[in-house]
Amino acid sequence: MAPICALIGMGVAGYLARWVLSQDPGPDSMNSISLKIQQGAKAFLLSEYKLLIIFMAVVAVVMCLALSPWTAAAFVTGGALSAAAGYVGMHVATRANTRTAHAAEESVAKALNISFKSGLTMGLCVASFALFGLSLWLILLVFGNIDMIDVMHEHVGMVEGFATGASAVALFARVGGGIYTKAADVGADLVGKVEAGIPEDDPRNPATIADNVGDNVGDVAGMGADLFESYTGSIIAPTILAVTFASLGYFSGIDMIWAVVVPVMIASCGILTSVLGLFAVRTKEGSALGAALNRGTYLAAVLEVIAILAIFVLWNGQSVEGQPIWLFGSVICGLVAGLAIGKTTEYFTSDEYAPVKKIAESCETGAATNIIQGISTGMLSTIIPIALVAFAIIGAYICGNMAFPGVDVSTGGIAVGLFGVALAATGMLSNTAITIGVDAYGPVADNAGGIAEMAGLPEEVRDRTDSLDAVGNTTAAIAKGFAIASAGLSAISLFVSYQATMHHAFVDFSLTLTDPMIIAGIFVGAMVPFMFAALTMGAVSDAAHAMVEEVRRQFREIKGIMEYEAEPEYDKCVAISTQSALHKMMLPGVLAVIIPIVIGCIDPAMLGGFLAGAVSTGMLLAIFMSNAGGAWDNAKKYIEKGAHGGKGSAAHKAAVVGDTVGDPFKDTSGPSMNILINLMTIISLTFSPLFIAIQTII
C-alpha cells in the first residue's frame, strides 16, 4: 500500500509541477530577475550538497564499521531522498515566482492558485519520497521477518539509519539555508530600508537578489528537509517502539503485525487526503486568503480522520489481546493538539490579533520597547503549546493503555501506553503534504512581490503579492508549530525505544533521578539547545555584518545606483551569503552528531538524561524563537499597511529593527531546534548497539 500511495503522490506532484511551469512567466523584465534567483539558489544548493556528500560519506563509513553496511546504506538513502525532495521543490518554486507575479497583475486568486500548487508540489515530493524510501526499507528488512522477533528487532535498528540520514541533511539544510537567507535579509533591511529609506526589494538594493534567493534555499529547500525528517520520525518512531515492545513480549501474533504496519498505513492515507485537500483551496478577489488555505487543510484532516478510524476498526476486528480501537483516540489526541497548536501560533503571530498589534503599538516608543514586547510575546506563546503537548501525551498514553489492558506493563518500567504517544505524533504529521503546501507557497509569494517591485509593476500588484505574503508568514509559523510539537512527541517515542533497547540488553538498566550521571546528563542536554542557538545566531550576525558592509560599500562607491543609472553588483552579495552559510553551518551540525555518540560511549544512562534535558529546553526554545520572530515580522507588515504612521514613520523604522532581530529567531535557530532534538535522539538510538558493545567489554 505505502509504495503505491507514494508513487501516486509523486505522480500528482509531477502533474502540478508541469502545470505551474506551463503558466505565463511574464515579460523579459520579470524573467531576467527570476533567472538570477534561479541561478543563485541552484549554485548555493549544489555547493551545500557537495559538503553534505563528504559529511554523509564519512558518517556512512563510521556506521559501516561500527554498526552494519545496511545501516549505512539506509543512512545514505534517507539523506539522498531528503536532498532530492528539496531540490525538486526549489526548482519549481524559483520558476513559480515570476509566474505568480505575472498572475497577480490579473487577480490575487490566480496568483494564489499558482503559488499554492507550487507549494503542494514540494509537499507531495517530501511526503512521497520519505514514505517510498522508508516503506521499501521496512519491507526489505522488517516486514519480511515478521515471524522472527529478534531478527526484526535487529533489522529495525538498521532502518533507523534512514531517519538518521534524513535528520542530518535536514539540520544542515535548515541551518545553512537559514544563515544564507537571514544574512541577506538583515543586510537588505538595515541598509536599504533603515539607512537609505528605500522600499523592500527595491532594485537599487544590492542585497535584494540574495534576499530572494534566500527565501528559496531557506524557506523552501530548508523547510522541506525539516519536515521530511519530522515526517520520517513520526512514522519510524511508533514502528521502532512496536518492534521493541514485541521483543519484550508486549505484542504477539496479529496485534504485532498490525502495530508494526499501522504507522505506515496512516502516512499512506495522508498522502491521498492531502491530494484531495487541493480541490478545496479556492478563492475569489476580495475573499479571505487564509480561509481558502484553511479549507484545504481542514478537508484533508477530516478525510484523514475517517481513514484512520477505518484502519483501527479493521485492526480491532482481528485483535486477540485487546481493543486497538482505543489507539484511534491516541491519534486524535495528536491531531487535535496539532490543530490547536496551529491556531495558537496563528493567534500569537497574525496581525489580526492582539499580541502582534501590541508589538506594533510598542514601536511608537522605539526599537527597544518593540524588542522587549516581542520577547515577552514569544515567551508567553510557549505556555499553551506545551500544555497541549502535555495533554496529548497524557491522553494518548491513557488510550494506549486502554487498548491493551491485559498486557504486562511493568517490565523495565516501560508502559505499552507509550505506543499511543508515538501514534499521536504520526497523527499530527499525517497530512504533512498539504501542511508543507500551505507553508511553501509563502516564499513563492514573497519572491513574486520582490519581482513585482524590481520590475516596476503597478502598486496594486505589489499589494496583492503582499497580501499573499502576509498570510504566508502565518502559515509558515503554523507549520513550524506542527513540526516542533511532533518532534517532541517523536523524540519521546524514540527516547522510550532507546530505554527499552538498553533494558533489553541490560536488565538492570534504568533511568532514575537518584543517579548523579543521569542528573549531570540532564543539565548538559538542557545546555546544548542554548549552545546551538548561540552558534546559529552568531553565524547570522557575522554573515549579516559582512553583508551590511558590502551594501554600504556599493552605495558609497558605485555612482548612479540611487538614480537608477547603474546596476548594483548583486553577485557580490550572493557570494557573501553563500560562503558564510557554507562555512558557518558545519560546526553546529557536526556537534549535534558527535556529542550524543561521545556521551553514549561513556555512559548510556547519562545519555538518557542528556536526551531528556535536550528535548525539554529544545522544544521551549523552538516555540519561543519561532513565534517571537513571526510576531515581529507581521508587526512590521501591520505598520506598513498604514497603522501607527505607516511606511517611513519612526514606528516603522523601529519595527524593521525588531523584524531584523526576529529573522534569525524564526528562520534559522528556532526551526532548527526540532531537528536538533530529533537528530540527537535518533543518533542515540541508531548507535545503541555500539554503546551496548562497549559496555559489554567494560
Residue 673 to residues 65, 109, 127, 147, 631: CA-CA distances in angstroms?
29, 35, 21, 39, 18
Phi, psi (rounded to 5 degrees) for 536: -75, -40
Q: Which amino acid is at 289?
A: L
Percent of the chain predicted with pLDDT > 70 = 95
Tell me the pLDDT tens digit for each residue of 613-663: 999 999 999 999 989 998 998 899 899 888 999 888 999 989 989 988 998
Given this model, what pLDDT does residue 411 score? 46
Tell me the pLDDT tens digit for each residue of 553-607: 888 888 888 888 888 888 888 888 888 888 888 888 888 889 999 999 999 999 9
What number is the average pLDDT over the span 511-527?
91
pTM equals: 0.87
Q: Kindly report the CA angle at 529 between 525 and 535, in degrees rounded to 5?
A: 130
Distance CA 161, CA 617 (A): 25
Distance CA 568, CA 554 (A): 7
Whether residue 480 is predicted with pLDDT greater than 80 in this model: the reply is no
What SS3 state is found at 1?
A: coil
Distance CA 377, CA 397 (A): 31
Q: For residue 244, what is its C-alpha cell? A: 521493541
With contact defined as beta carbons under 8 Å apart, do 169 and 133 qualify? no
Task: Say which range, 88-92, 279-283, 365-369, 495-499, has the weakest mean pLDDT.
Answer: 279-283
Closest to 490 (Cα-Cα) out of 267, 664, 668, 233:
233
Could you tell me the end-to-end alpha-carbon distance of the chain, in angstroms, rounded to an integer?
45
Whether residue 162 is predicted with pLDDT greater than 90 in this model: the reply is yes
Closest to 567 (Cα-Cα) out of 205, 211, 214, 210:
205
Phi, psi (rounded to 5 degrees) for 382: -80, -20
Residue 536 to residues 183, 541, 577, 580, 643: CA-CA distances in angstroms?
11, 9, 14, 11, 33
Identify the domain containing residue 622 by its residue range: 1-697
Given this model, what pLDDT does residue 525 score? 95
Q: Cβ-count burial of 333 within 10 angstroms (0-12 exposed, 13-18 middle, 19+ buried)?
A: buried
Cα torsion angle, 178, 181, 185, 186, sign: positive
The set of residues, in sequence order, having a beta carbon less than 8 Å from that of 153 and lying 6+ positions away, is 243, 244, 246, 247, 504
DSSP state letters, 27-78: -HHHHHHHHHHHHHHHHHHHHHHHHHHHHHHHHHHHHHHHT-HHHHHHHHHH
Looking at 460-594, which runs of residues are DSSP E strands? none
Give 447's DSSP letter: H
Whether residue 190 is predicted with pLDDT greater than 80 in this model: the reply is no
Whether residue 339 is predicted with pLDDT greater than 90 in this model: the reply is no
Distance CA 130, CA 238 (A): 16
Distance CA 509, CA 53 (A): 37
Cα torsion angle, 182, 187, 190, 196, sign: negative
With contact defined as beta carbons under 8 Å apart, do 640 and 646 qualify? yes
Q: For residue 614, what is its C-alpha cell? A: 535536550
Distance CA 71, CA 155 (A): 9
How many independent structural domains does the chain possess?
A: 1
Closest to 9 (Cα-Cα) out of 274, 295, 227:
274
Distance CA 630, CA 635 (A): 9
Instruction: Tell me the residue length of the chain.
Output: 698
Distance CA 308, CA 47 (A): 42
What number is the average pLDDT over the span 79-84?
92
Residue 62 to residues 55, 73, 156: CA-CA distances in angstroms?
11, 12, 19
- Tally of CA atoms within 13 A in the half-sphere of 125 that contains its CB: 31
Closest to 441 (Cα-Cα) out of 420, 460, 469, 422:
469
Given this model, what pLDDT does residue 414 score? 62
- Tally of CA atoms within 13 A in the half-sphere of 176 that contains its CB: 29
Q: For residue 179, what is its C-alpha cell? A: 544563515
With contact defined as beta carbons under 8 Å apart, do 397 and 421 qualify? yes
With contact defined as beta carbons under 8 Å apart, do 174 and 671 qualify? yes
Looking at 526-592, which runs of residues are DSSP E strands? none
Whether residue 410 is predicted with pLDDT greater than 60 in this model: the reply is no
Q: For residue 621, what is its C-alpha cell? A: 526554545
Tell me the pLDDT tens digit for each residue of 342-361: 788 889 988 889 999 999 99
Q: For residue 532, what is its C-alpha cell? A: 546551538
Tell me the pLDDT tens digit for each residue of 109-146: 888 889 888 988 999 999 999 999 999 999 888 877 77
| pLDDT confidence tier of residue 108, bands split at 50, 70 and 90 | confident
Question: pLDDT: is 680 or 156 the higher one?
Answer: 680
The set of residues, in sequence order, having a beta carbon less than 8 Å from that of 409 and lying 6+ positions away, is 250, 401, 415, 416, 417
Whether residue 107 is predicted with pLDDT greater than 60 in this model: the reply is yes
Residue 418: alpha-carbon gap to chain centroid:
24
Tell me the pLDDT tens digit for each residue of 29-62: 888 888 888 888 888 888 888 889 999 999 999 9
3-state helix, strand, coil in the chain (%, to 5): 85, 0, 15
Distance CA 444, CA 468 (A): 9
Q: What is the largest CA-CA distance in the chain?
A: 81
Mean pLDDT of the chain: 86
What number is the average pLDDT over the span 414-438?
82
Q: For residue 381, what is its C-alpha cell? A: 506563546
Q: For residue 158, what is its C-alpha cell? A: 538498521
Q: For residue 280, what is its C-alpha cell? A: 478545496
Q: Which amino acid is at 564?
A: Y
